[in-house]
Structure 1
Amino acid sequence: MERSFTSVMLLAAAALVGGCATTGGFQVSEVGSFHAGGTQVALSGLAERELRLTPSAPVMKVNPNGEFETGQLYVQYVRLAAPRARYPLLMWHGGGLTGVTWETKPDGAPGWQQYFLQAGHDVYVSDAVERGRASWSRYPEIYTSEPFFRPKQEAWEGFRIGAGYSKDPAQRVAYPGGQFPVEAFDQFAKQAVPRWATNNAATQAAYDALVAKVCPCVIVVHSQGSAFAMQASLNAPGKVKGIVAVEPGGAPDPAAVNLTTVKGVPHLFVWGDNLAGNEGWARLRAAPDRYRAALLAQGGVADLLDLPANGIKGNSHMVMMDRNSDQVAARIQAWMSANRLMK
């Protein structure tokens, strides 16, 4: 039976009495990083080049042939001295972005990495295959398609920050009541990285390797990353203990997978504002909504947090960067408490 989000909040109220997740410090036991997944490839027959590697260096011959690692992801973790969560929290980003999504927000305010550390979680923030510190590989010898890049107008309009983009920041038109800090939009745009349309299999394999290494765990995932998180849960029954899908941009086809293996995994689907009448987002929502309905039909927990319906208005696609992101994070934290993901 489908549960309303309000009923979940009532269940969680007792767990939140006496403390505030957004105040106070936390004691860290370890900060570290690693790469997961990947495989060796060999290149041969490529021509040497002569390059000057720094302005004052002599010209050198560079040989592009040899063995290389490809298909790995990067993870930075912060472990607490006394975590209050049962499982580590893995934070996976969306398309054309990196783990910076979860770190300090573009306007300088603390992000969700900080919030959930203060709430008592060990936090693992990753850069997926081809992104950030995961690095990327040669095209066309290893990556079989060229990279593509998201223009700023696409981010402004597609991420539902506003309907009117201009290269002049003073001329941009944001949605009335919007929560994204529009004065920091250009700073946000600096986070964009190239992406490839042909690396999905490698990305899934790397995420599966991360789950095998770190989990049992809970995954908080954004946008494009949602399909990878749900598939990772299906690929490793019992390893993923909860999924929070923030504005999911995809999901597995329920007809093609065995949902009985994950019907005991609580899922929360979080959606922001200004979705009504948006044809592009209606198409993007179809797969996650179908997946959620199938989980419910299996008797699973697949809760919906419709932010405007719960009185939290103005959120963009980048919910975790909006000015009211802590308010949203508090709802997610309460949901995790209600679903026994805290000690």
Structure 2
Amino acid sequence: MTDHPHAADTQRQLQTCISVRDIGSFFVGGEMLTLSGMPHRDRVSTNQGAVHPVDQNGEIIAGQMYVQYIRLERPTGRWPLLLWHGGGMSGVNWETTPDGRPGWQMFFLRSGLDVYVSDAVERGRASWAPYPEVYAEAPYFRTAREAWEETFRFGPAGSWHPDEAARRSHEGVRFPVGRMETFMHQFVPRWATNNARTQHAYDALIASLDTSIILTHSQGGNFGLTAALNAPERVKAVISLEPSGAPSPDDHDAALLRDVPHLFLWGDYLDQHSFWVDSVPNVRHWHDALAAAGTDVEWIDLPARGITGNSHALMADDNSDAIAAIVLEWLRKHSLAA
């Protein structure tokens, strides 16, 4: 990997303490639903506890999203940065890397930006709802093989093995593969039927803030790109780390985003994994539509810059701070960070 031109500045920044004004959380989205026809059950709340009959019929809230915020005492950026995770994951992706380094939440706080980290609908502290009563089908659970060989591109097809010593990773991969089990602890169930609920919650978050910057990963990319379309006057920029999908130019007017700069950023090994071979062209079509509409849009291919070995887990790879510094430099170029 070539050194980033501002590597020394980045190292000084990573050693900087921050002064925090406010830490808190809230929920957005969601609606009250009434469950009926549910069977009665007997519940024991704790070991050796009493048996309680439970009537599961009645009102619940479903479709809510959890948001944690950290606001600085003296932010140098005018607008907060929203960090949106990918599929089968939660906001913990942004907090600490699997090998124990500070994540992008702390990086951008130290860069002077207020940061909001979300757990989207059905993920993490957002909780989830009954299925099939509310969610139409059962969830999917990510396996280690799917993560290793396909989505996150740690190794080629056939390279996963439960025995760490028998695993094979891509030559030069930047993800700390010795911490795969730690990374697997972050996997959470996901449903294929909640896109509308999730988009509604993200749109509600954008509406609750005056103006913000959206930074997304993977599945979160389509939600972020669509949220900007739904409220371009409230979004200062959209940064998409390897989005797995994007709006279709046939169905959406890219000209609505003429004044909202966009950054797309991509790692390595994309042409060796069918999921990404199939996914990247749809995102490229949206990028091209934005460019044709006059949007300030940039597509960064890290290997083309001499930065090789990055997996899909850009915020967890061993050079994650250098990747974050590229994003920060782009924000500064657009007067979105000091």
For the superposition of Structure 1 and Structure 2, which TM-score range results when normalised by the shorter chain? Answer: over 0.9
Corresponding position: 1:340 with 2:335:
yes
Query: What secondary structure does 2:237 align onto?
Result: strand
Q: In the alignment, residue 308 of structure 2 is paired with which amino acid?
A: K
Which of 12, 16, 26 is the matching residue for 1:34? 26
> 2:201 is matched with which residue?
206
Query: What secondary structure does 1:175 align onto?
Result: coil
> 1:138 is matched with which residue?
130
Query: Runs in 1 of length 4+ with deviation above 6 angstroms?
Result: 16-19
Residue 274 of structure 1 and its aligned partner are, at CA, apart by 1.1
Sequence identity percentage:
47
> 2:110 is matched with which residue?
118
Residue 22 of structure 1 and its aligned partner are, at CA, apart by 2.2
- How well do the aligned residues superpose, as a CA RMSD in angstroms? 1.6
| Residues 17, 147 of structure 1: alpha-carbon distance in 2 compared, 3 angstrom cutoff | closer
Residue 276 of structure 1 and its aligned partner are, at CA, apart by 2.8
> 2:178 is matched with which residue?
183
Alpha-carbon distance between aligned partners in 2 of 1:119 and 1:157, rounded to the nearest angstrom: 34
Query: What secondary structure does 2:27 align onto?
Result: strand
Alpha-carbon distance between aligned partners in 2 of 1:109 and 1:19, rounded to the nearest angstrom: 13
Alpha-carbon distance between aligned partners in 2 of 1:215 and 1:181, rounded to the nearest angstrom: 38
Residue 311 of structure 1 and its aligned partner are, at CA, apart by 1.9
How many residue pairs are counted as aligned between the two chains?
A: 331
**8 Å contact from structure 2 (residues 232, 260) kept in 1:** no
**8 Å contact from structure 2 (residues 20, 70) kept in 1:** yes
Alpha-carbon distance between aligned partners in 2 of 1:276 and 1:226, rounded to the nearest angstrom: 20
Alpha-carbon distance between aligned partners in 2 of 1:18 and 1:131, rounded to the nearest angstrom: 32
> 1:6 is matched with which residue?
none
* TM-score normalised over the length of structure 1: 0.93
Which of 285, 305, 309 is the matching residue for 1:310? 305
> 2:249 is matched with which residue?
254
Residue 19 of structure 1 and its aligned partner are, at CA, apart by 9.0
Alpha-carbon distance between aligned partners in 2 of 1:279 and 1:106, rounded to the nearest angstrom: 26
| Residues 337, 19 of structure 1: alpha-carbon distance in 2 compared, 3 angstrom cutoff | farther
* Offset from partner CA, 1:198-251 (integer Å, 9 cap, x none): 100000000000000124100110000110001111111211110110011010
Q: Give 1:38-117 correspondences, 5 Å limit.
A: 38-117=30-109
Alpha-carbon distance between aligned partners in 2 of 1:116 and 1:277, rounded to the nearest angstrom: 32
Which of 277, 284, 291 is the matching residue for 1:296? 291
Residue 280 of structure 1 and its aligned partner are, at CA, apart by 2.5
> 1:3 is matched with which residue?
none
Alpha-carbon distance between aligned partners in 1 of 2:148 and 2:210, rounded to the nearest angstrom: 35
Alpha-carbon distance between aligned partners in 2 of 1:129 and 1:280, rounded to the nearest angstrom: 24
Query: What secondary structure does 1:233 align onto?
Result: helix
* TM-score normalised over the length of structure 2: 0.95
> 1:22 is matched with which residue?
14
Residue 172 of structure 1 and its aligned partner are, at CA, apart by 0.6
| Residues 252, 323 of structure 1: alpha-carbon distance in 2 compared, 3 angstrom cutoff | same
Alpha-carbon distance between aligned partners in 2 of 1:173 and 1:41, rounded to the nearest angstrom: 48
Residue 277 of structure 1 and its aligned partner are, at CA, apart by 4.0
Alpha-carbon distance between aligned partners in 1 of 2:165 and 2:76, rounded to the nearest angstrom: 45
Query: What secondary structure does 1:303 align onto?
Result: strand
Unpaired stretches in structure 1, ≥5 consecutive residues: 1-8
> 1:216 is matched with which residue?
211
**8 Å contact from structure 1 (residues 88, 215) kept in 2:** no
Unpaired stretches in structure 2, ≥5 consecutive residues: none
Q: In the alignment, residue 321 of structure 2 is paired with which amino acid?
A: D
Query: What secondary structure does 1:84 align onto?
Result: coil
Query: What secondary structure does 2:263 align onto?
Result: strand
> 1:284 is matched with which residue?
279
Which of 160, 168, 172 is the matching residue for 2:167? 172
